Amino acid sequence: MWSLLLNTNTGWVLLSTTMLGIAAGAIGCLAYWKKQNLMSDALSHAALPGVVITFLIFQEKNLLLLVIGAGISALIGALLIQWITTSSRISEDAAMGMILSVFYGLGIMLLSIASRSSGGNQSGLDNFIFGQAAAMVRSDIRTMMMLAVIVILTVVIGFKEWKIYLFDQSFANSIGLPLKAMNTLYTFVLVVTIVIGIQAVGVILMAAILIIPAVSARYWTHSFKCMLIISSIFGAFSGAIGTLISAQGRGWPTGPFIVVVAASFFIFSLVFGKEKGLLIHYLHRQNQSKQYRVNQLPIKGAIK
C-alpha cells in the first residue's frame, strides 16, 4: 500500500479521483433535489458515442479531445430528452430511458468498429465502459483535475443562487434570477462532471458516484449546505479508497471498486444516519412505546 502511495503516477491518479469524488458528490446533491437522478445515468451513457466518434476522427486517445466529444454527445442527449418531453406525451423518465438505451447501443456498436480499426485494440477505449484510472497519463490527470476544480468552484461560488434555484423558483423569479440560464448551467456542470469521470469510473457506473454519495448524505442532515459537504466527503473517500483497492491488482477496473466503497458508505448511513437511519428510527420507536406504556400505567390503576 505504501509503495503505491510513493509511486508518483499513482499519487496523482489518487488525487484526481478524489477531486472527481468531491465534484460528483456536490453535483449529485443538485441532481437529487432536482429529482433528476436518472438524468445523470442517461447522460453518462449518452457520452459514449461521442468518445468513440472523436477517437475515430482524430485517431488518438487525447483525454481533452475525448472529453469535448463526450460532452457534445451528452448535451445532444440532454436536448433530445427535452425535445421528446416537450413535443410529445412521453414522460421525462421514459425519454431518459430511451436516450440511455439508444446512445449506449450506438456507442457499443461504434466501439466494436473502433476495436477492429488499426490500433483500435491498443486505444484503451474499453476502459471507458467500466473505468480504469491506472490507464490515465499525466496529461489526462491534469485535464481531469482542472475540470473538476471548475465544477467545484461553480457550486461553491454560486451556492446561494443554487439554493434559491432548487428550493424556491417563485422567489428566484421575483428577484430576477435567470432560471433558464441556471438550468443551462446545471446541465453543463452535470455533463462536465460525467465526462471527466467516465475514464476513471466508466459510463455504466458514473451515475452511481453521482447518486450514492448524495443519497447517503441525506441520512445525516436536513441542511442543504451540510448535505453538500457530507456528500462531497463521501465522494472523495469513495474515489480515493476505490482507486487504492483497484491499484492492488493488475488490470482491475477502478469504477466497480469506487462504487462498492460508495455503497458501503450508503449502508452505513442507512443504518446509523442520525436523521433517517434505521437504528435511530428503531430506538425512537422503542422510546415512544416505552413512554406510551409509562403513561398508560396510572390510567390502568385508576380503572381498577
Tens of pLDDT, residues 77-131: 999 998 999 898 888 889 999 999 999 999 989 888 887 775 544 456 777 777 7
CA dihedral in degrees (33, 107, 9, 206; nearest 10)? Answer: 20
Specify the pLDDT at position 121.
46
**185 within 8 A of 151, measured Cβ to Cβ:** no
- 290 falls within a domain: no
Whether the pLDDT of residue 231 is over 90: the answer is yes
**258 within 8 A of 251, measured Cβ to Cβ:** no
Whether the pLDDT of residue 274 is over 60: the answer is yes
Choice among 4-13, 34-43, 132-141, 173-182 with the minimum mean pLDDT: 4-13
126: phi then psi, degrees, rounded to nearest 5: -60, -25
Alpha-carbon gap, residue 278 to 282, rounded angstroms: 6
Q: What is the pLDDT of residues 145-157, one digit of tens each?
A: 899 999 999 999 9
Q: What radius of gyration, in Å, describes the C-alpha atoms of the chain? A: 22
Quick one: pLDDT band at residue 298, thresholds 50, 70, 90?
A: low
Give the rounded percent of residues in the chain with a pLDDT score beyond 70: 92
Whether the pLDDT of residue 182 is over 60: the answer is yes
Contacts of 33 (CB under 8 A, 6+ apart): 166, 167, 224
Average pLDDT value over all residues in the chain: 86
- 291 falls within a domain: no
Whether the pLDDT of residue 300 is over 80: the answer is no
- 146 falls within a domain: yes
Whether the pLDDT of residue 302 is over 60: the answer is no
Q: Which domain covers residue 104, as residue numbers?
A: 2-273
Is the pLDDT higher at 261 or at 10? 261
Specify the pLDDT at position 5.
53
- 301 falls within a domain: no
Specify the pLDDT at position 120.
47
For the entire predicted model, the pTM comes to 0.86
- 113 falls within a domain: yes
- 161 falls within a domain: yes
Give mean pLDDT, residues 262-288: 87
- 284 falls within a domain: no
Q: Which one-letter amino acid corresponds to residue 3?
A: S
Whether the pLDDT of residue 159 is over 60: the answer is yes
Specify the pLDDT at position 130.
76
- The total number of structural domains that make up the chain: 1
- 194 falls within a domain: yes
Whether the pLDDT of residue 3 is over 50: the answer is yes
Give mean pLDDT, residues 205-215: 92
Residue listed under C-alpha cell 424556491: 168
What CATH number corresponds to the domain at position 247? 1.10.3470.10
Closest alpha carbon to 189 in 69, 11, 24 = 24
Give mean pLDDT, residues 187-201: 89
Specify the pLDDT at position 115.
77
Alpha-carbon gap, residue 202 to 51, rounded angstroms: 12
Q: What is the pLDDT of residues 255-270, one digit of tens each?
A: 899 999 999 999 999 9
Residue listed under C-alpha cell 462536465: 192
